[in-house]
Structure 1
């Protein structure tokens, strides 16, 4: 293992955004809860059962593209909605409408409360780059660039594969490995020479199915065993544990 806590053959590092680089996972979870609770309260009436911002978030929406999160969670409640269109208003009873409602709430929270970064992650990325490794951010979020700019970290990544790029290239999101594979390709390397850094179980699945050289699980939610079960080679609480920093 190198000073960075990585196998010698690793040439590039692919970082998830929410929960790995930024402290936005809790903001996402809160936005999903507000969205789904309002929808379910109207739909279920006296049988209303709220969205759990820990269990339901981890199992059904964390790491997934927004429409997939809507479909997956609602399917767990036996609910199916028409797809609608990406431009549906946030009150439309469609998959895209519910997703857009969540995104509006998220953006409002980010605008009013700002975005925080995990300082241990930023220092680790700087160390990775100082050692000559290339870096990419891989996120299902369509707001990835705005978030990176908000924390002054856009220049820390050679490549950005986010929800906007995935839509343009017709790449399926996590747990499929396609977005990570696209990042590796754009960095000029292959999966075997890339390390993936993820906090979501869907991201672990993507790392495993894509046969990446090393997969690091970042345990922000007390799911260490699950991260290993879904394909992590190593699990840390913070990337500072991997070394490479002064």
Structure 2
């Protein structure tokens, strides 16, 4: 449904929003999960949108946190080099170009190395402000990352629009008090204010006080 809203900053998730990395994410996590006898569907519903160590702690709640941190670093290292099949979500490049002179940031559960690798594989520019795993103490669905981005940009949370695909990310944006546009087929079930199939349905138009987001 066509709609429009005004904002002063755009905050964008990466995986599933700007880049399609589903194939490599699900393959590596299923390899990790099999020795633990975990259910595939449960694993794949858990890992999207969260930092790896948090997903591990949810899936293996009795395990030592230090092991989760160590294995998360191993997972990030593998994900950073295994980028075959990582591609742009339709409309991502055009959206980033439209936002180039406007306040915006990536807010991702990936670390800097993984973000750089995946954005590079998808041939997308990286915004000047990137809130990555290294910069927060709490993973999505906690709103810390989005709130830090807003503060760094000098914009009130209520004036930010978030682009997110996962349940954890959408919850983080909503809890931050921001307007959330859900991206992709699974986003509507998590209650975003608006929904698009992909970013080709988004148009940015500068306005006197920020910019207008037009949804087709």
| 2:75 matched residue in structure 1 | 102
1:82 maps to 2:67: no
User: Shift of the alpha carbon at 1:50?
Assistant: 4.0
Question: Where in structure 2 are the equivalents of 1:1-246 lying within 5 Å?
Answer: 6-8=4-6, 10-37=7-34, 39-40=35-36, 48-52=37-41, 55-58=42-45, 60-75=46-61, 80-84=62-66, 94-110=67-83, 113=84, 115-129=86-100, 132-142=101-111, 143-155=114-126, 157-166=127-136, 171-212=137-178, 214-219=179-184, 222-228=185-191, 232-244=192-204
Match of 2:16, SS state, is: coil
Name the SS of the counterpart of 1:197 in structure 2: strand
Q: Tell me how far 1:30 sits from its aligned partner.
A: 1.5
Once residues 161 and 200 of structure 1 are traced to their aligned partners in structure 2, the CA distance between those partners, rounded to angstroms, is: 17
Structure 1 stretches of 4+ with a deviation exceeding 4 A read none
Query: Aligned Cα RMSD in Å?
Result: 2.3
Unaligned runs of 5+ in 1: 41-47, 85-93
- Check whether the contact 1:192–1:211 (CA below 8 A) recurs between aligned residues: yes
TM-score, normalisation: structure 2: 0.83
Q: Verify the 8 A CA contact 1:177 1:207 in the aligned structure 2.
A: yes
CA contact (8 A) 2:163 2:183 kept: yes
- The answer for unaligned runs of 5 or more in structure 2 is 206-216
2:38 and 2:153 mapped to 1: Cα distance? 45
Give the structure 1 partner of residue 214 of structure 2.
none
Deviation at 1:224, TM superposition (A): 4.2
Name the SS for the 1:243 alignment partner.
strand
Maintained 8 Å contact 2:21/2:85: no
TM superposition score normalised by structure 1: 0.74
Structure with the greater alpha carbon radius of gyration: 1
* Residues 49/134 of structure 1: CA separation in 2 closer, same or farther (3 Å cut): closer
